């Protein structure tokens, strides 16, 4: 059955970066976009239903129908702006690890919102504030979707229940290094270990470190080690990821600015110069009980992008 959709035949390419939230003290507030990307091609069709082809991370594991997170995010965004949902064909090349604390679900949601924006070009307007609002509604909190949308370092907050974010440029000397294990940790499990209240002095401690971290990431990278100290969440969640906790402490014992990336179990090291990353990688290789993949990633400064997909038509012979 055909739908007669106004967007049928349109096709877009979407590219969304991985993200690391919290960055140590900035719990549920700070996020950083990393130059590790999921990319997909989305085509609107005139037929009912959703078809999803997946290569890379999640192949054979993630849903390939309308329950796929990217597809459901597209449908939600269309409905949010009062537009009928077309048939969809998604071709996804996933690189961001799933369940690793690098914003894979945020990337999928932002991919869907960006795809909807591209498909609805000239039909319905989706400005950046609305996209942040929709993505936050789907994700539940803005700390990962904000850097995925904007790139760079983002500060996220809510005002009158509406999500807001501010993007800051990261100092060029900041050199991220990501360690990804071969296992995942549920974000829900990690959050369940968080206490309902914390000591007053710990709250003050994290306030000071969060403010210092903004300065370290934007102006003074030499302060990154002190600026990434945390007392609000990482130690409480340690039991869910003991090897992550052990390696973070080992790295910090050697003066590396290491933190749990998001809800874990991946680790983010914020080096103040590129050469420090090699030394950190050697340290983890020496102390890890299980294999960890090290990725020397740059900071992504652009955030999510969408453009029309031009299908190459080969001339007949």
Separation CA 97–CA 34 (nearest Å) = 13
Asked if residue 107 belongs to a known ligand binding site, the reply is yes
Asked if residue 104 belongs to a known ligand binding site, the reply is yes
Single out the residue of 111, 155, 134, 136 nearest to residue 22, CA to CA: 155
Asked if residue 105 belongs to a known ligand binding site, the reply is yes
Find the helix or strand (DSSP H, E) in which 211 lies: helix 200-218
Asked if residue 40 belongs to a known ligand binding site, the reply is no
Instruction: For residue 39, give the 3-state DSSP assignment.
Output: strand
Asked if residue 118 belongs to a known ligand binding site, the reply is no
Asked if residue 99 belongs to a known ligand binding site, the reply is yes
Asked if residue 58 belongs to a known ligand binding site, the reply is no
Instruction: Give yes or no for a contact between 56 and 94, defined as CB atoms under 8 angstroms apart.
Output: yes
* Structure tokens belonging to residue 68: 């796929």
Asked if residue 49 belongs to a known ligand binding site, the reply is no
Asked if residue 246 belongs to a known ligand binding site, the reply is no
Altogether, the residues listed in the chain come to a count of 317
Asked if residue 100 belongs to a known ligand binding site, the reply is yes
Asked if residue 101 belongs to a known ligand binding site, the reply is yes
Find the helix or strand (DSSP H, E) in which 52 lies: strand 50-56
The 3-state DSSP composition of the chain as helix, strand, coil percent (nearest 5) reads 35, 25, 40
Which residues are part of a known binding site?
Answer: 97-107
Which residues are part of a known binding site for ATP?
Answer: 97-107
């Amino acid at each position: 059955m055909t739908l007669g959709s106004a967007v049928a035949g349109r096709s877009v390419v979407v590219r969304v970066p991985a993200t690391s939230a919290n960055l140590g003290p900035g719990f549920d507030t700070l996020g950083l976009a990393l130059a590790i990307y999921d990319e997909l091609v989305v085509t609107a069709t005139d037929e009912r239903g959703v078809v999803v082809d997946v290569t890379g991370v999640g192949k054979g594991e993630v849903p390939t129908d309308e329950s796929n997170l990217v597809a459901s995010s597209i449908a939600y965004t269309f409905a949010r702006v009062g537009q009928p949902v077309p048939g969809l064909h998604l071709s996804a090349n996933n690189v961001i690890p799933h369940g690793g604390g690098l914003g894979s679900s945020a990337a999928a949601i932002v991919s869907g919102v960006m795809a909807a924006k591209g498909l609805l070009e000239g039909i319905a307007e989706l400005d950046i504030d609305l996209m942040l609002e929709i993505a936050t509604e789907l994700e539940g909190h803005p700390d990962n979707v904000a850097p995925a949308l904007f790139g760079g370092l983002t500060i996220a907050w809510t005002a009158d229940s509406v999500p807001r974010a501010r993007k800051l440029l990261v100092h060029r000397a900041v050199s991220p290094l990501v360690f990804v294990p071969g296992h995942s940790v549920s974000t829900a499990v990690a959050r369940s270990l968080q206490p309902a209240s914390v000591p007053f002095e710990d709250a003050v401690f994290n306030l000071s470190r969060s403010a210092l971290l903004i300065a370290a990431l934007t102006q003074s990278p030499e302060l990154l080690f002190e600026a990434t100290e945390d007392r609000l969440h990482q130690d409480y969640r340690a039991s869910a990821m003991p090897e992550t906790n052990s390696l973070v402490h080992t790295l910090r014992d050697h003066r590396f600015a290491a933190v749990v990336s998001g809800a874990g179990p991946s680790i983010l090291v914020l080096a103040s110069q590129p050469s420090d990353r090699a030394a950190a990688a050697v340290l983890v290789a020496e102390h890890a009980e299980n294999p960890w993949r090290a990725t020397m990633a740059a900071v992504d400064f652009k955030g999510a992008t969408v453009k029309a997909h031009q299908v190459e038509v080969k001339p007949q012979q």
